[in-house]
Structure 1
Amino acid sequence: MSHLYIQKEHTIFRSALRKFLDKEAYPYYEQWEEDRMIPRSFWRKLGDNGFLCPEVDDQYGGSGVDFGFSVIINEELERVGSGLVGISLHNDIVIPYIIAYGTDEQKRRWLPKSATGEIITAIAMTEPGTGSDLANIRTTARREGDHYVINGQKTFITNGIHGDLVIVACKTDPDAVPKHKGISLIVVERDAQGFSRGRKLHKAGLHCQDTAELIFEDCIVPKENLLGQEGKGFQYLMEKLQQERLIVALAAQVSSETMLNQTIQYIKQREAFGKAISKFQNTQFKIAEMATEVEMGRTFIDQLIVDHMNGKDIVTKVSMAKWKLTEVARNIATECMQLHGGYGYMEEYEIARRYRDIPVASIYAGTNEIMKTIIAKNLGL
């Protein structure tokens, strides 16, 4: 399939990445799933080979290339397994905050080691009582002299265990009206006094991706770790959620493509009643339906990627993509497992893992219900 944003250098890059993943990821992925953790050594190998932080300028240790390279990294990681989502979050969700809102001093301090894999990043928005309603977060950051004192708790944090650098959404002005104007982003480093990890959370899927609770008890952070301006945190989050949702939609699309291709291969080999199950009309209709959904999804996401790279406002369409493509992926996972029969429920077949991993895509980066609310609002309803 030809993508609108792909040039010759992207193709060469994809080939190199695939060779790397064939050697360093595919053979070990199932063990990582059993261990429920991706080793830090893999992050370092990614960094050593130039597969982390591609958009970071070369003066800060990155490659300074266009978003198309990030797309390729996301696609190829998703083909290995959805549990590698933490790398995508590091590259294309957290690091862009530092690129866009960080001072030159902050960039020099954090970006080079992020590009090598020495620093693993996370972003902490969700709290035990607050998910999509970010304006009502309760974590506070009180300014005292030359530092902030942070108190609160975050949960469902991707890279929560490995994270060395966490962008924390907190209230620097709890009395602000409207509430969202009191939110700021503060970067908390691993060794910060008063910062600790809670439970490593055990999830229904994405087993190798570490997810954790984070606890801040009179956590002391230098005032220089404020990202951007006080009170602008909610605005920054809204600006960057467009790319985050695009990444989630892209991963869902690739997962759908992968599940469909694997199932087509399986039904051609599996026999029932003396012939391959691919010869049954019901099977053919199911595959035809899924193939059509996948083709339409790829066309839509490719155009969105181009629009995003050209700086266009795609908030409405990316909300559509995030909702629709994650929903399609969930349906395809169910249909493909059914077409695998009893074997589809066995761990030795990848469809079982995909079936577990895909449902959360309709929850994180804003639930699909929130996506529909955004769409409706932007349509003037």
Structure 2
Amino acid sequence: MSETTTSMTDAERDEQDRLILDSVDRFLDRHVRPVALKLEHDDTYPDEIVERMKELGLFGATIPEEYGGLGLRPSTYAKMIERISSVWMSLSGIINSHLIMAFIVTKTGTEEQKAAFLPRFATGELRGGLALTEPDCGTDLQAIRTVAKRDGDDYVINGSKTWITNGIQGSCFALLVKTDPTAQPRHKGMTMFLAEKGPGFKVSRKLEKLGYKGIDSAELVFEDYRVPADRLIGGVEGRGMACAISGLELGRVNVASRGVGVAQAALDESVKYSQQRKTFGKPIHEHQAVAMKLADMATRVSAARLLVQQAAKALDRGERCDYEAGMAKLFASEAAVENSLDAMRIHGGYGYSKEFVVERLYRDAPLLCIGEGTNEIQRIIIAKRLIEQNPV
């Protein structure tokens, strides 16, 4: 954290954050809301919007100021992601995967790696994400089979990754590999590299999705791909799993914030429609069945937002927050799914139409229950930490 940041009073920092969030709101209203529906339906990458995001400094949102970033606290970043996701969730993924990579470098990279990469990440000159998942392993990261072997001043990498956000448009990735496939326990043989596209690094195909459109998800293939040894994050083999876990804490707060944004958007659309639509001579919000759905939707949004802020503030303090982030991600993503379905029911047949936003929310929301660790895994993590905190 920079000297400028640490010397700010809480009131000054809060005011700075408010101004940044206000600028994000203006950007969304002017440049995203009018075109989101068409870009999403056409599954078109939002090049012009991305350029404006670069101008706003959003690719450096959580990167420390001394490296050219905005230096936002995770709690402020969470509010920003909620706003973006309430308008078009796909945009949040374009910066989230990128900022997870930057977060990993900030927390575990060498000083040379921070100086070389973070300023380029902050401007968006170098963009990318996190390359963890493989065709035969998702949640069980220790089962990855991509291997890196030392060869002089380089490592030679062979293997493949799948469901990689920004895989086509991105140019640099935090790549999880095994440098010792025989290590026991398995995580001790895992290492992470900063891998820029080049010879041997291929995008094999774009993956088509139910929702979350406009952002590219891809399969990546590595065939005798050479990466300099100084790109090994942290400079020491065997710390790849720790790097991934540190990044996923921020990632889970991000996904939880997306859940709040989608749930809020579903509520907003439903409140508006329930006042416009009339049946049996009165607005439908006056019917008890609709009123009860609105009440449940509003309660879910508020509860999810509080859980997200609890997790984000733990990150602000630099504390371990897998327990809090797991609960936030679990509850907020389920709230998004439930609210999107309730919104569709409130809208009736119109909710099933591509002309209405709720149809997109209904397709986007399920991803949140799967991404950054399934909700089933979150429940296991929460229970494990609960027992650790309450020994007999």
Q: Give the TM-score normalised by structure 2.
A: 0.91
**CA–CA distance in 1 between the matches of 2:307 and 2:82?**
15
Give the conservation status (yes or no) of the 8 Å contact 2:158–2:222: yes
- Is 1:42 aligned to residue 46 of structure 2? no
**CA–CA distance in 2 between the matches of 1:236 and 1:100?**
8
Give the conservation status (yes or no) of the 8 Å contact 1:54–1:69: no
Corresponding residue number in structure 2 for 1:226: 232
Corresponding residue number in structure 1 for 2:326: 319
Match of 2:204 among 198, 201, 206: 198
Deviation at 1:337, TM superposition (A): 0.4
Give the conservation status (yes or no) of the 8 Å contact 2:266–2:343: yes
- Is 1:128 aligned to residue 143 of structure 2? no
Provide structure 1 residue ranges, at least 5 long, that are not aligned to the other structure. none
**SS in structure 2 at match of 1:227:** coil
Please tell me the residue identity of whatever aligns with 2:62. E
Match of 1:296 among 274, 298, 303: 303
Deviation at 1:212, TM superposition (A): 0.4
Give the conservation status (yes or no) of the 8 Å contact 2:188–2:239: yes
**How high is the sequence identity, in percent, across the aligned residues?**
37
- The number of equivalent residue pairs is 377
**SS in structure 1 at match of 2:58:** coil
Corresponding residue number in structure 2 for 1:149: 156
**SS in structure 1 at match of 2:220:** strand
Give the conservation status (yes or no) of the 8 Å contact 1:149–1:218: yes
The superposition leaves residues 211-243 of structure 1 with CA deviations (integer Å, 9 ceiling, x where unpaired) of: 000000111111111111210101121223222
**SS in structure 2 at match of 1:27:** coil
Match of 1:378 among 359, 378, 385: 385
**SS in structure 2 at match of 1:379:** helix
Q: Give the TM-score normalised by structure 1.
A: 0.94
- Is 1:94 aligned to residue 94 of structure 2? no
Please tell me the residue identity of whatever aligns with 2:212. L
| Residues 286, 322 of structure 1: alpha-carbon distance in 2 compared, 3 angstrom cutoff | same
**CA–CA distance in 1 between the matches of 2:26 and 2:145?**
45
Please tell me the residue identity of whatever aligns with 1:354. L
Give the conservation status (yes or no) of the 8 Å contact 1:6–1:68: no
Give the conservation status (yes or no) of the 8 Å contact 1:169–1:233: yes
Deviation at 1:137, TM superposition (A): 0.3
Match of 1:210 among 200, 204, 216: 216
Corresponding residue number in structure 1 for 2:7: none
- 1:1-381 equivalences under 5 Å are 7-90=14-97, 92-190=99-197, 192-228=198-234, 229-380=236-387
Provide structure 2 residue ranges, at least 5 long, that are not aligned to the other structure. 1-10
The superposition leaves residues 90-125 of structure 1 with CA deviations (integer Å, 9 ceiling, x where unpaired) of: 453121011122223323332222222222111110
Please tell me the residue identity of whatever aligns with 1:127. E
Deviation at 1:198, TM superposition (A): 1.2
**CA–CA distance in 1 between the matches of 2:334 and 2:183?**
37
**CA–CA distance in 2 between the matches of 1:289 and 1:64?**
36
**CA–CA distance in 2 between the matches of 1:177 and 1:292?**
46
| Residues 312, 103 of structure 1: alpha-carbon distance in 2 compared, 3 angstrom cutoff | closer
Could you say what the CA RMSD is over the residues aligned between the two structures, in angstroms? 1.9
**SS in structure 1 at match of 2:298:** helix
**SS in structure 1 at match of 2:248:** helix
**SS in structure 1 at match of 2:332:** helix
Structure 1: 4+ residue segments shifted above 3 A = none
Deviation at 1:317, TM superposition (A): 2.2
| Residues 102, 307 of structure 1: alpha-carbon distance in 2 compared, 3 angstrom cutoff | closer
Deviation at 1:251, TM superposition (A): 1.1
| Residues 30, 5 of structure 1: alpha-carbon distance in 2 compared, 3 angstrom cutoff | farther
Please tell me the residue identity of whatever aligns with 2:40. E
Deviation at 1:6, TM superposition (A): 8.1
Please tell me the residue identity of whatever aligns with 1:183. M
**SS in structure 1 at match of 2:164:** strand
Deviation at 1:5, TM superposition (A): 12
The superposition leaves residues 26-75 of structure 1 with CA deviations (integer Å, 9 ceiling, x where unpaired) of: 22222321342333443232122222212323342223343344223312
Please tell me the residue identity of whatever aligns with 2:128. T
Greater displacement, 5-14 / 22-31: 5-14
**SS in structure 2 at match of 1:122:** strand
The superposition leaves residues 303-357 of structure 1 with CA deviations (integer Å, 9 ceiling, x where unpaired) of: 3222221223322122122112211211111111011000000011000000000
